[in-house]
Chains A and B, each alone.
Chain A
Amino acid sequence: MTATSLTDPVEQARAVAEYCYEQGWTDGLPVVPATKAGIEEFLAAAGRAPDEIIGSVAHLRRSVTVAQAAANAIMAGCRPEYFPVVLAAWQALHLERSVRGAWQSTSGPAPLIVVNGPVRSRLGINCAGGVFGPGFRANATIARAIGLIVRNGYGVRPHELEQATQGVPGRWSLCLGENEELSPWEPFSAVGGVAPGVDAVSAVLIRCCEYVDNRATDSAEAVLTDLADTLARIGAFVGGGHSSGGLVLGPEHAQLLGQAGYSRAGVQQWLFTRAVRDRADLAAAGKGDGPGSDPAQAGAAFRMMPSAAGIPILVAGAANAAISMVFRPFGWAPWSGRAVPVAWPPADPEV
């Protein structure tokens, strides 16, 4: 770099981006430089103290402070007013029992971050078309911030402590708003214990999504049958007492089910009962020596889902095609079933 170019702020910006790469601070994409002034803005937006520890991994001897999370959120491209959502997402992830081993796991799971409440429109969090992204700053950068905190805060980097075999597409980019307006049911956050209308974040670690495209029927049971078939897929079963699954229902499927009289719990129960496999199917795929092989249970269908309530169901996307997504919660511990209210600073609740 020449002396002339160093005086050019645009060239300086490029040089800073390169410097951050050289330090190993990025996820492969350029980052926004974090400064003390920037961190103070973020702390003010969240009303939080800089040194508060918000996460620790004892076996790695690392912990993360609010100020450090702010630095990484800045780098991810967040605006200050996103930071309370980032912190709530981080807290929600730490409610997941499976989170401790997730960052080092060969399965390379992705946090699926779900936002409910009026904050969606205030921050421009997409909950409609193209909800899995890309194209929306809040969705993209809130999820990315989590990834940078794991990398830089916990020191878990690919090809080192991070040992993902293939990883999950969208690992640090899955943040979506629930399409509450087109959902027939109470907000997903209400299932997680936060009152409807309150800004809240839920999170679940997932091992990928698989679409269920069914525009061919007006039968709720036909759609449920289609969903149950994908939920019960053997490939996602990794042993143990059950497989795992959840749904991001497109609004059309959700409304079809709602109009047919199904509550969310009714859908969960239907799927829990019918997402089953014969034990012989598991054995044929070489997965027959787990609990499903219990001779006392021979002949009985093996329930692939952990429980009815252990099938998280939310609604997102556009009402322009009858498409839904099955996702796979990571690990044997089911979704925590808890949402975290977004904590806004008391003096300025309307960011």
Chain B
Amino acid sequence: MFDNLIDPTIGSADDGGPDPVTLASRPETLAGLRLGLLANPKRNAEQFLDQVARLLAEQHGVKPVLARMKHDITDTAPERILDDLRTQCDVVVIGVGDCGSCSASAVADGLLLEQAGIPAAVICSDAFRVSADAMAGLRGAPGYQYVTTPHPVANLSPDGVRDRAAAALPAVVGLLTRPGATASS
């Protein structure tokens, strides 16, 4: 209708749409698999993942082999950390996305690992579904599934973190093992 009007969202010619992400195939069982953790520096994130790892080891026989923390909440994890996770782990748990930037970037990290064939379970708080979903779309994986835990996480006591991790465990296991559970179109 207004042919002469410039679309202000169109920028560099290099800004193409994302390539669709092929998600990693899922193992039937987690027993004996090497588990990696990727935490962000938000309060309780590392503790939450530690509790998930403990439960995965106790109840599902995984072997926690690597725990890394990234120090930037906005960007994806540094390549050296992603490399370690890709080469030393069979499955990875990521989180906790409990802020505007880190929820989106946790999803982005998950998709980088999925692309390398590593099943990932990303944990975000339920307050940040929108930004997590937006990042999944931006990264070529609309509908990418992740685990949600009630917001907030930062103010939980150690007991509270333990309870939350236990509550999240079935969904984490589901995302890491159930074929087709990680994508919807």
* Interfacial residues, chain A to chain B (CB-CB below 8 A): 15-16, 19-20, 23, 25, 33-36, 38-39, 51, 53, 58-65, 68, 71-72, 75, 100-101, 104-106, 148, 152-153, 155, 159-164
Q: How many residues of B contact A (CB 8 A)?
A: 33
Q: A160-B134, A163-B130 are in contact. Are A153 and B11 (CB under 8 A)?
A: yes
User: Could you tell me if A61 and B6 are in contact, using CB atoms closer than 8 angstroms?
Assistant: no
CA distance A162 to B9 in the complex (A): 16
Give the nearest-CB partner of A286 in chain B.
B155
CA distance A39 to B7 in the complex (A): 12
> Lowest 3 CB-CB distances: which A-B pairs, in order?
A163-B100, A101-B74, A152-B8
Question: Which residues of B sit under 8 angstroms from A148, Cβ to Cβ?
Answer: 8
Give the nearest-CB partner of B99 in chain A.
A106
- Binding site of B, secondary structure by majority: helix, strand, loop or mixed? loop
User: Could you tell me if B74 and A71 are in contact, using CB atoms closer than 8 angstroms?
Assistant: no
CA distance A142 to B64 in the complex (A): 52
CA distance A127 to B105 in the complex (A): 40
Partner-contacting stretch, out of B12-20, B55-63, B79-87, B167-175: B12-20
A-B contact pairs, 11 of them (CB 8 A): A20-B5, A25-B7, A25-B8, A36-B4, A38-B6, A61-B138, A62-B11, A68-B12, A106-B99, A153-B11, A163-B103
What mask results when residues 149 to 163 of chain B are scored 1 for a CB within 8 Å of chain A, else 0?
Answer: 000000000000000
User: Could you tell me if A19 and B2 are in contact, using CB atoms closer than 8 angstroms?
Assistant: yes
Q: Of the candidates A19, A153, A159, which one forms a contact with B8 in the assembled complex, judged by CB atoms under 8 Å apart?
A: A153
CA distance A19 to B100 in the complex (A): 30
A-B contacts counted at CB < 8 A amount to 100
CA distance A164 to B134 in the complex (A): 15
Whole-angstrom distance between the Cβ of B162 and the nearest chain A Cβ: 19
Q: Is B122 an interface residue (CB 8 A)?
A: no
Question: Which residues of B sit under 8 angstroms from A33, Cβ to Cβ?
Answer: 2, 5
Whole-angstrom distance between the Cβ of B83 and the nearest chain A Cβ: 18
What mask results when residues 103 to 143 of chain B are scored 1 for a CB within 8 Å of chain A, else 0?
Answer: 11100100000000000000000001011001100110000
User: Could you tell me if B75 and A61 are in contact, using CB atoms closer than 8 angstroms?
Assistant: no
Give the nearest-CB partner of B137 in chain A.
A160
Question: Which residues of B sit under 8 angstroms from A35, Cβ to Cβ?
Answer: 4-6
User: Could you tell me if A71 and B8 are in contact, using CB atoms closer than 8 angstroms?
Assistant: yes
The CB with the most chain A CB atoms within 10 A, among B2, B100, B130, B139, is that of: B100
User: Could you tell me if B6 and A71 are in contact, using CB atoms closer than 8 angstroms?
Assistant: yes
CA distance A36 to B10 in the complex (A): 13
Give the nearest-CB partner of A159 in chain B.
B130
Question: Which residues of A sit under 8 angstroms from B15, Cβ to Cβ?
Answer: 61-63
User: Could you tell me if A60 and B138 are in contact, using CB atoms closer than 8 angstroms?
Assistant: yes
Give the nearest-CB partner of B135 in chain A.
A161
CA distance A19 to B8 in the complex (A): 13
Give the nearest-CB partner of A152 in chain B.
B8
User: Could you tell me if A19 and B1 are in contact, using CB atoms closer than 8 angstroms?
Assistant: yes
Q: Is B76 an interface residue (CB 8 A)?
A: yes
Q: Of the candidates B6, B12, B75, B99, which one forms a contact with A36 in the assembled complex, judged by CB atoms under 8 Å apart?
A: B6
The CB with the most chain A CB atoms within 10 A, among B1, B6, B15, B135, is that of: B6
* Interfacial residues, chain B to chain A (CB-CB below 8 A): 1-2, 4-15, 18, 73-76, 99-101, 103-105, 108, 128, 130-131, 134-135, 138-139
User: Could you tell me if B105 and A65 are in contact, using CB atoms closer than 8 angstroms?
Assistant: no
Whole-angstrom distance between the Cβ of A58 and the nearest chain B Cβ: 7
Whole-angstrom distance between the Cβ of A169 and the nearest chain B Cβ: 18
Question: Which residues of B sit under 8 angstroms from A62, Cβ to Cβ?
Answer: 11, 15
User: Could you tell me if A100 and B11 are in contact, using CB atoms closer than 8 angstroms?
Assistant: no
Question: Which residues of A sit under 8 angstroms from B1, Cβ to Cβ?
Answer: 15, 19
CA distance A266 to B152 in the complex (A): 42
User: Could you tell me if A155 and B9 are in contact, using CB atoms closer than 8 angstroms?
Assistant: yes
User: Could you tell me if A68 and B75 are in contact, using CB atoms closer than 8 angstroms?
Assistant: no
Question: Which residues of B sit under 8 angstroms from A36, Cβ to Cβ?
Answer: 4, 6
CA distance A104 to B103 in the complex (A): 10
Question: Which residues of A sit under 8 angstroms from B12, Cβ to Cβ?
Answer: 51, 53, 63-65, 68
Question: Which residues of A sit under 8 angstroms from B139, Cβ to Cβ?
Answer: 61
Whole-angstrom distance between the Cβ of B157 and the nearest chain A Cβ: 12
Question: Which residues of B sit under 8 angstroms from A23, Cβ to Cβ?
Answer: 7
Question: Which residues of B sit under 8 angstroms from A68, Cβ to Cβ?
Answer: 8, 10-12
Whole-angstrom distance between the Cβ of B139 and the nearest chain A Cβ: 8
Question: Which residues of A sit under 8 angstroms from B6, Cβ to Cβ?
Answer: 34-36, 38-39, 71
Question: Which residues of A sit under 8 angstroms from B2, Cβ to Cβ?
Answer: 16, 19, 33
CA distance A162 to B135 in the complex (A): 11
Question: Which residues of B sit under 8 angstroms from A65, Cβ to Cβ?
Answer: 11-12
User: Could you tell me if A59 and B131 are in contact, using CB atoms closer than 8 angstroms?
Assistant: no
CA distance A58 to B9 in the complex (A): 17
User: Could you tell me if B130 and A104 are in contact, using CB atoms closer than 8 angstroms?
Assistant: no
CA distance A34 to B13 in the complex (A): 19
